[in-house]
C-alpha cells in the first residue's frame, strides 16, 4: 500500500545544475590544501559552541533543580557521596535504629567501613546480634561531620538493610542501600505540594471515636471490625465526595463536598481524631504505596464559595500491617520529622512538577 503511494508522489522540482555546482564547489574546497585548515577550524568552532551550550544548559538546570529543594536537603548523588566520604575520612560514627522509631528502641553506634557504588557497609558493635530477620528492614541513621571553624553539621537518612554478614574475625557487618535523600537533622518546615489527582489511587476515612479501640485507646488492630468508612475516594468514580488538596510528610488538607456532609450526623470538631487509608502512586517504582494514618484535626472551615468542608489534619501515628496477618494494623508514633517514606514521595513529586512546569 505504501509503495504505489511513493511512486505516485511527485518528485520535488530542484535546480539540479545548481546542486551539482554546489557539490563540485564543496568537493574542490575540501581537496584544496589551503582551504582545509579553515574547514577544520569551522567544524571545531561549531563543535565547541555546541558543547558550551550543553554545559551551560546543564549548569542552569542544576541551579534551578537545587533551588527547588528545601534548605538542608540533598538529593544529588555526587553531593551525598561527598558528605558520606567526609564522614568516612573523619571516622564518624553512624547511629542506626530500626523504623518505626519507638522510645524504648535505642540506636546502635556503628562504624562506617566502606562506601560502594550502590551500598554502604557498617560495622556493628560486639554486643549486637544480627541475623536474617534484619534483611529488608528499614533503618534510620544519624551522623555528624566536623566543618570549618569548629562547627559540626548533623545529618540524617533512611535506608534498607540489604545484607548482614560476619567477617573472619567475627565482626558483624550490615550492608545498607546507598541513601537517595540526605538532610540536616533538624525539625524542618514540611514541604507541601498539591499533586495531580492521578497520583492518588484511593482514600478512605473513618471517624476514630466510632471505631472499636484496644486497651491503649488506639483503633482496634483487627480491620474487619471497623465497618464502612465515613468517606471514600476511588479514581474514575463519579461522585467522589473527598479530595486531597495538598499533602506533606506531616499532614494533609482535605476538601469534602458539602452534599456529603449535609444531613449526616458526623459532627467533626477541631482536635478530633480520624483514620485515613491513603494509596499513592509512585511513578519511579510503578507501584502503589499504602499508608495507614491516624490524624488530628488541626483546623476546619467552610469554603465561602463552594460551602465545602476543608479539613487540615496532622499525622500523629502511622500504621503498619502485622507480618503474620494482613488484616491487623499496629500503630507507631510519628516523630518530629514526619513520615520519611511520605517525605521522599512528596519531595520527588515536587521535583517532577518543578522540572515540568518550573514551579517555585
pTM value is: 0.56
**Contact criterion met (CB below 8 Å) for 114 and 167:** no
Which pLDDT belongs to residue 275?
Answer: 95
Which pLDDT belongs to residue 318?
Answer: 92
Q: Which of 68-72, 123-127, 224-228 has the lowest mean pLDDT?
A: 68-72
The answer, yes or no, to whether residue 1 has pLDDT greater than 50, is no
| pLDDT (tens digit per residue) in 251-309 | 999 998 887 777 666 677 888 899 999 999 998 888 899 999 999 998 888 877 888 88
What are the contacts of 231-239 at 24+ separation with CB within 8 A?
A: 231/203, 231/204, 231/205, 231/256, 231/260, 232/202, 232/203, 232/204, 232/205, 233/200, 233/202, 233/203, 233/204, 234/202, 235/197, 235/198, 235/200, 235/201, 235/202
Size (the chain), residues = 360
The answer, yes or no, to whether residue 244 has pLDDT greater than 50, is yes
Which pLDDT belongs to residue 262?
Answer: 72
Q: In the predicted model, what is the mean pLDDT of residues 336-355?
A: 81
Q: In the predicted model, what is the mean pLDDT of residues 180-205?
A: 81
| pLDDT (tens digit per residue) in 91-102 | 888 988 888 766
pLDDT band, very low/low/confident/very high, at 199 (cuts 50, 70, 90)? very high
Amino acid at each position: 500500500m505504501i509503495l504505489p503511494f511513493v511512486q505516485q508522489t511527485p518528485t520535488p522540482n530542484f535546480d539540479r545544475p545548481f546542486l551539482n555546482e554546489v557539490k563540485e564547489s564543496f568537493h574542490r574546497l575540501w581537496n584544496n590544501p589551503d582551504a582545509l585548515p579553515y574547514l577544520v577550524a569551522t567544524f571545531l568552532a561549531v563543535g565547541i559552541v555546541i558543547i558550551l551550550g550543553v554545559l551551560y544548559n546543564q549548569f542552569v538546570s542544576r541551579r534551578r533543580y537545587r533551588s527547588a529543594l528545601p534548605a538542608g536537603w540533598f538529593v544529588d548523588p555526587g553531593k551525598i557521596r561527598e558528605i558520606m566520604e567526609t564522614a568516612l575520612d573523619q571516622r564518624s560514627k553512624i547511629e542506626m535504629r530500626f523504623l518505626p522509631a519507638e522510645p524504648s528502641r535505642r540506636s546502635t553506634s556503628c562504624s562506617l567501613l566502606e562506601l560502594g557504588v550502590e551500598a554502604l557497609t557498617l560495622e556493628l558493635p560486639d554486643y549486637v546480634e544480627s541475623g536474617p530477620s534484619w534483611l529488608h528492614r528499614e533503618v534510620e541513621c544519624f551522623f555528624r561531620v566536623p566543618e570549618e571553624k569548629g562547627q559540626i553539621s548533623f545529618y540524617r537518612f533512611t535506608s534498607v538493610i540489604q545484607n548482614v554478614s560476619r567477617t573472619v574475625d567475627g565482626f558483624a557487618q550490615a550492608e545498607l542501600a546507598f541513601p537517595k535523600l540526605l538532610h540536616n537533622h533538624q525539625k524542618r518546615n514540611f514541604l507541601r505540594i498539591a499533586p495531580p489527582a492521578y497520583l492518588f489511587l484511593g482514600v478512605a476515612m473513618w471517624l476514630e471515636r466510632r471505631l472499636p479501640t484496644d486497651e491503649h485507646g488506639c483503633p482496634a488492630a483487627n480491620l474487619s471490625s471497623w465497618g464502612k468508612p465515613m468517606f471514600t475516594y476511588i479514581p474514575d468514580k463519579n461522585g467522589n465526595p473527598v479530595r486531597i488538596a495538598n499533602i506533606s510528610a506531616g499532614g494533609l488538607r482535605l476538601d469534602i463536598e458539602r452534599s456529603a456532609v449535609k444531613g449526616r450526623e458526623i459532627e467533626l470538631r477541631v482536635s478530633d481524631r480520624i483514620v485515613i487509608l491513603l494509596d499513592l502512586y509512585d511513578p519511579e517504582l510503578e507501584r502503589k504505596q499504602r499508608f495507614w494514618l491516624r490524624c488530628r484535626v488541626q483546623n476546619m472551615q467552610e469554603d465561602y464559595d463552594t460551602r465545602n468542608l476543608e479539613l487540615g489534619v496532622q499525622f500523629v501515628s502511622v500504621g503498619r500491617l502485622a507480618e503474620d496477618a494482613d488484616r491487623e494494623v499496629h500503630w507507631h508514633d510519628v516523630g518530629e520529622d514526619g513520615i520519611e517514606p511520605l517525605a521522599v514521595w512528596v519531595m520527588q513529586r515536587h521535583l517532577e512538577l518543578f522540572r515540568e512546569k518550573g514551579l517555585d
